[in-house]
Structures are given as structure tokens and as C-alpha cells.
């Protein structure tokens, strides 16, 4: 997997972060919405999973919560 499009910074660091995301979500990356708005953690149920901040905007039927 290679980061698509324009990339500012080190691509190897971005790949490491993608792997960190995968450690939390597994291969179900469709449920992930990476972003930079820290307010999302105040507006939605949030917590940590595998040392990563997680906010749940919507939990689809059959999915378990990642928030601990």
C-alpha cells in the first residue's frame, strides 16, 4: 500500500501511521475516517484503542466498538 496523491513529509512515516491505523481497525479500513479536527473527540464517543485516539461517529450493525 502506498499513500496516494500529493504527500507532504516522509512517505515512510505515513506508511508507519497507516500500519498503526490497521493495528486498531484490522483490515476493515472502510470504517476509518482519519482527520485533523480534534473537536471530533469532544463531540462523539471517544477513547483509546491500541494507544491511538478513537472517536466513533457511527457504529454499523455487527461491528464492535473500538473505544475502550
Provide the pLDDT confidence category of residue 6 given band limits of 50, 70 and 90. low
Mean of the pLDDT values across residues 26-48?
Answer: 79
Non-local (6+) Cβ contacts of 43 within 8 A are 55
Cell numbers linked to 54 = 478513537
CA-wise closest residue to 1 among 24, 19, 21: 19
pTM surpassing 0.85? no
Q: Report how far residue 4's alpha carbon sits from residue 56's, in angstroms, rounded to the nearest whole number.
A: 25
Amino acid at each position: 500500500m502506498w499513500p496516494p496523491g500529493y504527500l507532504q513529509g516522509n512517505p515512510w512515516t505515513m506508511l508507519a501511521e497507516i500500519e498503526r491505523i490497521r493495528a486498531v481497525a484490522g483490515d476493515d479500513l472502510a470504517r476509518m475516517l482519519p482527520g485533523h479536527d480534534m473537536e471530533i473527540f469532544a463531540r462523539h464517543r471517544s477513547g483509546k484503542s491500541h494507544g491511538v485516539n478513537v472517536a466513533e461517529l457511527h457504529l454499523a450493525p455487527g461491528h464492535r466498538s473500538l473505544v475502550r
